[in-house]
A and B are shown apart, each in its own frame.
Chain A
Amino acid sequence: MRTEAFSEVQTGYAVARKPTIWEVLTSEKYFKWTLLIPLLVVLAIFMLYPLLYCAYYSFHQWGMRGEAIYVGAQNYRQLLNDKAFLEALYRTLKVLVICVSCELLIGLGLALLWSREFPGENIVRGLALLPLLVAPLILSLLWNFMFEYDFGAVNLILQALGLNKVYWWSPQRALYTICFITIWQWFPFSTFVLVAGLRSLPRDVFEAAKVDGASPWYTFRRLTLPMLSPLIMIIVVLRTMWLIRLFDPLYGTTRGGVQTELLDWIVYRTAFVYFDIGYGSTMAIFSLVLTIAVCAIMFKMLMRALGGTR
């Protein structure tokens, strides 16, 4: 204390005190980094490091035994000429389009019905949530039995109605059956997001439209849909990300057979069944880049949609 007083006298002005670490961390300038750094460290360890590791191995040939051999872009060249991979990619895009469209249509239809009050609404909504609560693998096993040709419940019902049995797992239908299982599990997600959206829309706009004599279809097309578009885009972006990685419905049913092999299944098969880590990493990196590209485009569209509602 004395020393400080002395130095003040000697120099004629107060010496700036060194701020404590706590003060630096909580200062206006650094506080955002204080909050972000723990997350960034976790992401770097558990996301960035494996990602870089995966990218590194995508240029190597390695089967977990011995040294990895550098092969340059050979794995990528192989990938672009790999018929099985390209077919899996095409099927994934097909599943993506079918599932997202159907989930949105069903979700929107049900959301319009369920956004109104009706007797037993809580029970209905509760039951509709059930598919989302069941583990996807269990669900795929259940549907596998339900769609079985001779013993399956679906065909038994069809027969009881006097209709012919359908071979749901034929090479021509199996992919659509997989789509059905996926849609059945995920339509409640779209429904509930859209119900929440519908309930939060401003009532005065709709009342004004009614006063002006707008028809229900016109109101839906020009008011409801544009106002819901940010939520629709969120559903599309999220479901796209999840559908590119669709895996569980295959595991419990066709295991990639009868022309149903999708992108994630072929990556799994290459990397974790054959343990061809090099080529499997190449596929995984491609899949990641594709997901990022598709989602980036959709994110842009989402931002535009959000801008439109402001």
Chain B
Amino acid sequence: MRHRGIVGGLVVALVLVCSFAVLAQEKFGLKDIPEIKNKKPINMIVETGAAWDKVIEYIKQFETVTGVKVNIERVASPVVYSKENVELMAGTGYYDVVYVETSWTCEWSDYLFDLEELAAKYDPKGVEGFREDIQNISPVLLRCGQAYGKQMVLPFYTYHMGMFLRQDVYDDPTEQAAFKAKYGYDLKPPTTYKELYDQAEFFTRKKGDTLKGKTLDHDLYGVAMMAGAYQINDEISCWIWGMGGDYATVVKNPDGTIKEFVITKKDKDILKQALTQYKDLLKFAPAGCLTANFDFACAQQGEGFAIIQPHQFASLFTWTADLLKEKVPDGRLGIYPTVGGQPYTGAWSLGVAKASKNPEAAYWLVRYIASYDCQKVLMKEGGQFSARMDLLLDPEFHSPETEYPLGLVCSYLVDIWKQQAPYVDNYWYFNTRAGGKVYEMQMNVLHKPMAEEVTVDECVEELVAKTIELTSKFDTVPIREE
């Protein structure tokens, strides 16, 4: 009996030791960075904001362990592209670590190292070690960070979109009954445009009307949208991807290489339909939506003025939920896939410049920032959502105290990534070198019909013409209109 106990104890101890060993193997961290021979300081540019405020503190640990100084330049996110683009194109090597929005990956692929090439050169575990670590990262975001099959960047944090709605209102029996009586079906998160339209209409109310049986002391809007000339294209992407369209269709050769881009009739029809529906929906949105960015739309919902945000960056969920809790104490948000189930996706990511004077240190810094430990800091202290699924599923973020709002978004992201993974490879943004330019152009053009500057048809015509013009100028893959 005593022997059995000892054997049992030993087995348990062995299992624990093995588990720790496996865990230690799985999670790459600062301790796994080998001695870096090249000690030249490295430069990087990052956005302003709380996430980097926190992560920068941990980069100091990287400096201490490796002996490589990291100079960090911080700018507002709209400036990142232009600053880096000039340095990359000129081949100055000023920025060793490049901060990349995933739609720019293909565009900059000639100026960035394939990370597997660097892993083979500098990583004692080689490419296999690198692949083993990144298998924990969202497959969707990894694909967004690839150019022509090569992993150019690793994601830092995701801004994958979702639909935010007032769960407390959707769960309210009075509202459910009133909705069913008016529209003839149950009130539930919308999965089609018709449902979204009905619900936006249903929840648009005037001051003095009631919500959940209580009299409103302000106007209430069904939806809050970002129709300003800044993020409208992200919303439209959700819309057209969800309808099976794209800004251009990627036509591939049998070997998987890209043959051409075609703006098909279907693409144009879907775009027209999406813009028309988006414009229709604006009548249930606050007037300010016409110049709005994400902050305005979230504030509208957080203040209790809007019920649905049909497309919003998931990373803003906790902020909106906290604001709602403050303004509407019994308010609670829910997050769901956007209509059609293919929300806009991407991540701020990091890569290594080919012109870098110290690619070795730059590579390890990128690996370190994408590591479990550093990403945990990003989530716990920086308030952003990691691209690592192992972290999003960490029980720490799913305890009764953390499940709302944090755990809810974590679960949403993991589920939507699994669902969306098969489609990402064909999204046009992530297959063209003109992605960055076209993305910026779209902000301006897609906003125009909402501001009554042009009709929807004129907008589609302009968008097609400019997409062809920019793609012809900045990509080598031919593009044509069907």
**A residues apposed to B, CB below 8 Å:** 61, 63-65, 144, 148-151, 167, 169-171, 174, 253-259, 261, 269, 272-276
Contact = CB atoms under 8 A, between A and B. Distances in A.
B229 A256 contact: yes
Nearest to A165: B287
Interface of B: 81-82, 85-86, 89, 218-219, 228-230, 286-288, 290-291, 296, 299-300, 303, 305, 437, 440-441, 443-444, 447, 451-453, 470, 473-474
Given A63-B473, A257-B228, A257-B291, A150 B286 contact: yes
A174 B296 CA distance: 17
B296 to A, nearest CB: 8
A269 B444 contact: yes
A160 to B, nearest CB: 15
B451 A64 contact: no
Contacts of B473: 61, 63, 276
Contacts of A258: 229, 290-291, 447, 451, 453
Contact of A170 (B290, B296, B453): B290
Contacts of A259: 451-453
With most chain B CB atoms within 10 A of its CB, the pick from A61, A148, A256, A273 is A273
Nearest to A62: B473
Contact of A149 (B288, B437, B453): B288
Given A150-B288, A257-B229, A257-B444, A171 B299 contact: no
Contacts of B85: 64, 275
Contact of B440 (A65, A174, A273): A273
A254 B82 contact: no
A261 B448 CA distance: 11
B187 to A, nearest CB: 25
Contacts of B291: 144, 169, 174, 253-254, 257-258
B451 A171 contact: yes
Given A151-B299, A275-B437, A169 B290 contact: yes
Contacts of A150: 218-219, 286-288, 300, 305
17 contacts: A63-B473, A63-B474, A149-B286, A149-B287, A150-B288, A169-B288, A170-B287, A254-B291, A256-B229, A256-B444, A257-B228, A257-B291, A258-B229, A258-B290, A258-B451, A259-B452, A261-B444
B452 A257 contact: no
Contacts of A170: 287, 290
Contact of A64 (B89, B290, B303, B443): B89
B440 A171 contact: no
Nearest to A87: B453
B393 to A, nearest CB: 38
B474 A269 contact: no
B290 A274 contact: no
Contact of A257 (B89, B300, B447, B474): B447
A191 B255 CA distance: 71
Nearest to A144: B291
Question: DSSP class of B's interface residues: helix, strand, loop or mixed?
Answer: helix
Contacts of B300: 150
Given A259-B451, A274-B440, A65 B89 contact: yes
A269 B229 CA distance: 12
Nearest to B437: A274
A257 B229 CA distance: 5
A148 B437 contact: no
Contact of B290 (A171, A256, A275): A171
Given A149-B288, A150-B286, A255-B230, A274 B470 contact: yes
A261 B451 CA distance: 12
Nearest to B300: A150
Contact of B441 (A144, A253, A254, A274): A274
B229 A255 contact: yes
**Top 5 A-B pairs ranked by shortest CB distance?**
A257-B229, A64-B89, A149-B288, A149-B287, A258-B451
A155 B235 CA distance: 28
Given A65-B89, A169-B288, A272-B82, A254 B228 contact: yes
Contacts of A261: 444
Nearest to A69: B473
A274 B434 CA distance: 9
Contacts of B443: 255
Contacts of A255: 228-230, 443
With most chain B CB atoms within 10 A of its CB, the pick from A61, A150, A261 is A150
Nearest to B447: A257
A94 to B, nearest CB: 15
A273 B286 CA distance: 29
Contacts of B287: 149-150, 167, 169-170
Contacts of B440: 269, 273-274
A151 B298 CA distance: 13
A151 B451 CA distance: 21
Nearest to B86: A64
A170 B288 CA distance: 8
Given A149-B288, A259-B452, 4 more contacts: A63-B474, A150-B218, A257-B291, A273-B81
Nearest to B230: A255
Contacts of B474: 63, 65
B482 to A, nearest CB: 24
A174 to B, nearest CB: 8
Nearest to A278: B473
Nearest to B445: A84
B105 to A, nearest CB: 16
A270 B470 CA distance: 11
B288 A148 contact: yes
Contacts of A174: 291
A253 B305 CA distance: 22
B478 to A, nearest CB: 17
A262 B287 CA distance: 23
Nearest to A152: B288
A128 to B, nearest CB: 29
Nearest to B228: A257
A254 B229 contact: yes
B256 to A, nearest CB: 25
A63 B110 CA distance: 15
Contacts of B89: 64-65
A149 B300 CA distance: 11
Contacts of B303: 151
A213 to B, nearest CB: 56
A136 B226 CA distance: 24
A273 B82 contact: yes
Nearest to B453: A259
Contacts of B451: 171, 257-259
A53 to B, nearest CB: 14
